[in-house]
């Protein structure tokens, strides 16, 4: 049973703080830029062809000749879906007739690409119509439908327009016919549609959505050899995926028996998100327990300090416990977005700050690091250490780039970042009948369905005072106190509140005109790693609030590799003398810097000099040219 639920997208109106600046960047720069990319109008970027794929699919269905056919990855349709979803969330925050007309036009194009039976996928419609539903392992048909379902839900919620919703309800009925009525075997190679079906069910009450989601979740892993059998039935493949690698596709065993997060990290957390949502909807305690085990596997043994997950580029996957290398980390941006989704659904099952703490960690570090500060370049992979000349060049490090590309052939991450930032309010706030929950700190006005209205004022994450002004309503207000905040205070109408914490939340009875002020600990602090992580022996990291800091060469005489932080050294918060990296706050740390060794090896111990090292927030790295970067520093 749900303890609380996300607020509606239109319930949150952003204010003038940090989140608002990012949401305006998405509106003003990212959404228009990405649409130009989808239309192949941006020079010196990877070709997208997404919109032309839909146009060409419509032509094929009408029997017209298509010259340039399909181009891109088999899941190329999902880029358009995520763009629509980001645009929908943005329209809820910033109404824009021109953008809405653009989305409506794209939806018309998509609707024209839907077959009479409800099937919708440009790859198979254009290239291989006779091969539909024969390659669930690689084909991504259900994955693409899932993202388009999410787009339909978001656009309907934002505008009330249901054309795309009707398209996708028809598509769901087709999928139901194929997998439930005709009893075709199988489940998605890439989980995604499961969580999307749950969203559509919550919004429409359509029973087919719940039944399909439950079916795909329940059948996964019951026959670990399913994909091998599927592969034997056909004499073709899309990219030669290994059907025996069941961990990669989370199908080694039924989901209720799984204990460790394995395989492709994005696929894993998308699946876990749907599992948690279904567990709360049908009150499945066994499924809830499985989600809890998988959650602990990730955050206790397989997650980076930055909230990145998936430590190996081999399969973009989880590795084994405590294998968290810094310089070859994969930590895909999409995986951290998926982790936020999983955490949000776990919060619906149990109000516990650990879930919101991880949402915050993933967002302010890996997710934001996935996009350049100007909104026009993106990281797919988010390492915690970069050395130019090795990163992006050495065979073991080719996936870890020292600067963000403009776009990707596999462009899942850029539009994913856009939709996440634009929908931040849904993650920040939740509610039930008698309580409004403040999981994350986001300036703006919130109107809860239970009748409470409030305004949040804060300059978080660089300032640590958060004020809630109650506009109307008489309810409970539950505010998370982050686990990293060693001290805090709560003032209600100018008087100190002595309320204790319940699973990391303060619960207050509030009414109209009340003012609640939360003050958190803004002191920078060191973080130390378990000795079970071999790469982090005797290393320390610097954080302040939710922000993980890193050391870049540009601030440290071009060389961070020779710096060792003093374990008992002083950390100081410093304002930049001028506006740099979006007017951030830097931290200085007492350190020693080893003198250079010119030869590869020497018998002479190098000298060390006292040094003041400079750190900047991890999400801002690689915005000032190619240079060294480290999160975890040597210590002495």
- 3-state SS, one letter per residue, for 421-442: HHCHHHHHEEECCCEEEECCCC
Distance of CA 123 to the CA centre of its chain: 26
Rounded to whole angstroms, how far apart are CA atoms 356 and 30? 26
Calculate the dihedral angle through the C-alpha atoms of 43, 46, 50, 55, rounding to the nearest 10 degrees. Answer: 60
Strands 563-565, 633-635: pairing is: parallel
pLDDT reported for residue 620: 97
pLDDT reported for residue 580: 83
Q: Which residues of the chain have pLDDT under 50?
A: none
Rounded to whole angstroms, how far apart are CA atoms 349 and 358? 15
Residue of 194, 214, 316, 443 with catalytic role: 316
Residue of 144, 412, 438, 550 with catalytic role: 412
Dihedral sign (CA 413, 419, 420, 422): positive
Tell me the residue ranges of DSSP E strands in 567-632.
Answer: 571-575, 585-594, 608-617, 629-630
Give tens-digit pLDDT for 10-47.
999 988 899 999 999 999 999 999 999 999 998 877 88
Q: Which two tokens stand for residue 357?
A: 């703490």
pLDDT reported for residue 14: 87
pLDDT reported for residue 511: 97
Rounded to whole angstroms, how far apart are CA atoms 400 and 404? 10
Domains and CATH numbers, the chain: 46-236 (no CATH), 252-430 (no CATH), 432-520 (2.60.40.1180), 525-635 (no CATH)
pLDDT reported for residue 407: 66
**What residues pair up with 430 in beta bridges, in sequence order?**
6, 437
Rounded to whole angstroms, how far apart are CA atoms 596 and 205? 67
pLDDT reported for residue 549: 98
pLDDT reported for residue 406: 77
Neighbours of 578 (CB within 10 A): 6
Rounded to whole angstroms, how far apart are CA atoms 612 and 591? 6
Tell me the whole-structure pTM to 2 decimals. 0.97
Residue 412 appears among annotated catalytic residues: yes
Residue with tokens 């329940």: 218
Residue 291 appears among annotated catalytic residues: no
Rounded to whole angstroms, how far apart are CA atoms 334 and 415? 10
Give the DSSP letter of residue 607: P
């Amino acid at each position: 049973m749900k303890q609380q639920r996300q607020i509606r997208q239109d319930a949150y109106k952003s204010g003038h703080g940090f989140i608002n600046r990012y949401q305006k960047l998405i509106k003003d720069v990212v959404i228009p830029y990405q649409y130009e990319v989808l239309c192949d109008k941006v020079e010196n970027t990877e070709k997208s062809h997404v919109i032309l794929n839909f146009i060409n699919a419509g032509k094929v269905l009408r029997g017209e000749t298509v010259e340039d056919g399909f181009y891109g990855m088999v899941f190329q349709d999902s880029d358009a879906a995520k763009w629509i979803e980001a645009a929908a969330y943005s329209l809820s925050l910033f109404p824009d007739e021109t953008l809405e007309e653009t989305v409506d036009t794209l939806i018309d194009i998509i609707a024209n690409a839907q077959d009479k039976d409800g099937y919708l996928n440009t790859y198979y419609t254009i290239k291989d119509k006779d091969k539909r539903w024969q390659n669930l392992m690689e084909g991504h048909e259900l994955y693409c439908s899932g993202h388009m379902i999410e787009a339909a839900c978001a656009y309907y919620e934002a505008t009330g327009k249901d054309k795309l919703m009707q398209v996708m309800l028809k598509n769901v009925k087709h999928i139901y016919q194929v997998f439930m009525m005709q009893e075709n075997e199988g489940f998605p190679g890439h989980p995604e549609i499961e969580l999307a079906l749950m969203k559509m069910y919550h919004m429409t009450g359509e029973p087919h959505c719940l039944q399909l989601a439950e079916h795909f979740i329940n059948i996964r892993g019951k026959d670990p050899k399913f994909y091998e059998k599927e592969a034997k039935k056909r004499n073709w493949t899309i990219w030669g995926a290994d059907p025996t690698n069941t961990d990669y596709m989370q199908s080694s065993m039924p989901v209720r028996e799984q204990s460790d997060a394995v395989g492709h990290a994005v696929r894993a957390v998308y699946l876990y998100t749907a599992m948690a949502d279904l567990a709360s909807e049908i009150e499945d305690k066994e499924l809830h327990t499985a989600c809890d085990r998988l959650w602990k596997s990730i955050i206790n043994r397989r997650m980076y300090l930055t909230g990145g997950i998936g430590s190996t580029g081999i399969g973009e996957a989880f590795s084994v416990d405590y294998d968290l290398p810094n310089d070859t980390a994969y930590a895909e941006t999409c995986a951290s977005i998926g982790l936020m989704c999983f955490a949000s659904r776990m919060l619906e099952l149990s109000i516990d700050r650990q879930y919101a703490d991880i949402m915050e960690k993933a967002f302010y570090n890996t997710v934001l690091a996935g996009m350049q500060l100007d909104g026009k370049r993106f990281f797919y992979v988010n390492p915690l250490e970069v050395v130019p000349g090795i990163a992006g060049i050495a065979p073991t490090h080719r996936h870890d780039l020292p600067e963000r590309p403009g776009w990707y052939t596999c462009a899942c991450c850029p539009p994913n970042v856009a939709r996440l930032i634009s929908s931040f309010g849904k993650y920040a706030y939740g509610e039930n009948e008698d309580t409004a929950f403040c999981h994350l700190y986001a300036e703006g006005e919130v109107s809860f369905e239970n009748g409470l209205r409030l305004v949040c004022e804060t300059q978080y994450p660089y300032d640590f005072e958060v004020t809630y002004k109650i506009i109307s309503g008489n309810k409970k207000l539950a505010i998370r106190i982050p686990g990293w905040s060693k001290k805090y205070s709560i003032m209600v109408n100018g008087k100190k509140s002595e309320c204790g914490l319940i699973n990391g939340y303060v619960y207050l009875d509030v009414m109209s005109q009340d003012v609640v002020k939360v003050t958190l600990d803004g002191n920078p602090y060191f973080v130390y790693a378990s000795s079970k992580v071999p790469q982090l022996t005797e290393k320390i990291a610097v954080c302040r609030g939710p922000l993980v800091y890193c050391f870049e060469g540009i601030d440290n005489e071009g060389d961070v590799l020779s710096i060792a932080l003093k374990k008992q050294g002083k950390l100081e918060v410093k304002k930049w003398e001028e506006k740099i990296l979006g007017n951030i706050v830097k931290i200085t740390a007492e350190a020693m810097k080893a003198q250079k060794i010119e030869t590869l090896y020497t018998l002479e111990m190098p000298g060390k000099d006292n040094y003041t090292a400079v750190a900047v927030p991890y999400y801002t790295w690689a915005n000032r040219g190619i240079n060294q970067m480290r999160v975890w520093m040597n210590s002495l």
